């Protein structure tokens, strides 16, 4: 158990819908990262937040957005969902921007 | 820009045999290097990391990796594998001047057979 929690574990929805994935980092960790794992794209970095501020963006679609709240939990919002958005979404956390990242168990999103 | 190549998508091996999972990277800046393991239906777990210093890095579960700067490689090895080592293994880099995002290779599925 890494100490990073993600909810929900599974999410099934339809195309065009909007969903929110939640991540609670390890106690004391200020950085939160989001990654997408899909069969065709592999593991890709989406976005990084540090202490509430966005620090880096990767291959994140404009339909996706994220935020980190004052209690340091983070949410990833996915809108106008397409079949291709079906994937595992991982959250990771670290103490600061250069420390080891610890991964949560992931949220499996299925878009039908 | 960085990229990570894991040369083998699958590696079948018999139990108690040695194994090497290959990883090559390219980067315009110096990087940190990582190996993560993903067991079925689970998240990623850090096996080991190279930040600086000795090029031979020892990790958990008897794994080790060697950083070779001239060959831009970071191959993962274990002298004797167990059935429980069956999993997906990911090599990753992170630029050491920014500490933001991990760039992952495509993964290698290690299949340990009895």
pLDDT tens per residue, range A42-56 = 999 999 999 999 998
Residue-level pLDDT at B51? 87
Residue-level pLDDT at A46? 95
- The partner residue sitting opposite B43, judged by closest CB among A44, A97, A103, is A103
Averaged pLDDT of chain B? 92
Query: Which of A1, A101, A104, A105 would you mutate first to test chain B, the one with the most B CBs within 10 A?
Result: A101
> Is the per-residue pLDDT at B98 higher than 90?
no
Contacts of A32 in chain B (CB under 8 A): none
Residue-level pLDDT at B104? 93
Q: How far is A81 from chain B (nearest CA, A)?
A: 23
Q: How far is B84 from chain A (nearest CA, A)?
A: 17
A34 has a chain B CB within 8 A of its CB: no
Query: Could you tell me if A34 and A44 are in contact, meaning their C-beta atoms sit under 8 angstroms apart?
Result: no
The sign one gets for the Cα dihedral B61, B67, B68, B71 is positive
Contacts of A100 in chain B (CB under 8 A): 34, 46, 49
- The partner residue sitting opposite B43, judged by closest CB among A33, A100, A104, is A104
Q: How far is A7 from chain B (nearest CA, A)?
A: 13
Compare all CA atoms of chain A with the CA of B100 and give the residue at the minimum distance. Answer: A97
DSSP A2-49: -S-EEE-SEEEE-TT--EEEEEEPPTT--EEEEEEEETTTEEEEEEEE
pLDDT band of residue B59 (cuts 50, 70, 90) is: very high
Q: Per the structure block, which two tokens stand in for B111?
A: 């299949």
A59 has a chain B CB within 8 A of its CB: no
Query: Could you tell me if A110 and B50 are in contact, meaning their C-beta atoms sit under 8 angstroms apart?
Result: no
Choose between B31 and A32: higher pLDDT.
A32
Verify whether the Cβ–Cβ distance A90 to B43 is below 8 Å. Answer: yes
Q: How far is A77 from chain B (nearest CA, A)?
A: 19
Distance CA A77, CA B87 (A): 30
Distance CA B55, CA A27 (A): 32
CA nearest neighbour of B35 among B81, B84, B92 = B92
């Amino acid at each position: 158990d890494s100490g990073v929690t993600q909810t929900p574990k599974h999410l099934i929805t339809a195309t065009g819908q909007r969903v929110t994935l939640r991540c609670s980092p390890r106690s004391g960790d200020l950085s939160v990262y989001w990654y997408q794992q899909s069969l065709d794209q592999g593991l890709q970095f989406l976005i990084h937040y540090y202490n509430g501020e966005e620090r880096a963006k990767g291959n994140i679609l404009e339909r996706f957005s994220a935020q980190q709240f004052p209690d340091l939990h983070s949410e990833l919002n996915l809108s106008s969902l397409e079949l291709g958005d079906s994937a595992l979404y991982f959250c990771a956390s670290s103490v600061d921007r250069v420390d080891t990242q610890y991964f949560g168990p992931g949220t499996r999103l299925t878009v039908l | 820009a960085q990229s990570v190549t894991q040369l083998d998508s699958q590696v079948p091996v018999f139990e108690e045999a040695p194994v090497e999972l290959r990883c090559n990277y390219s980067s315009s800046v110096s990087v940190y290097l990582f190996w993560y393991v993903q067991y079925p239906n689970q998240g990623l777990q850090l096996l080991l990391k190279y930040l600086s210093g000795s090029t031979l890095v020892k990790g958990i579960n008897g794994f080790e990796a060697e950083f070779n700067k001239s060959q831009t490689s970071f191959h993962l090895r274990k002298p004797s594998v167990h059935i429980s080592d069956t999993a997906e293994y990911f090599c990753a880099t992170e630029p050491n001047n920014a500490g933001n995002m991990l760039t992952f290779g495509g993964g290698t599925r290690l299949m340990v057979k009895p």
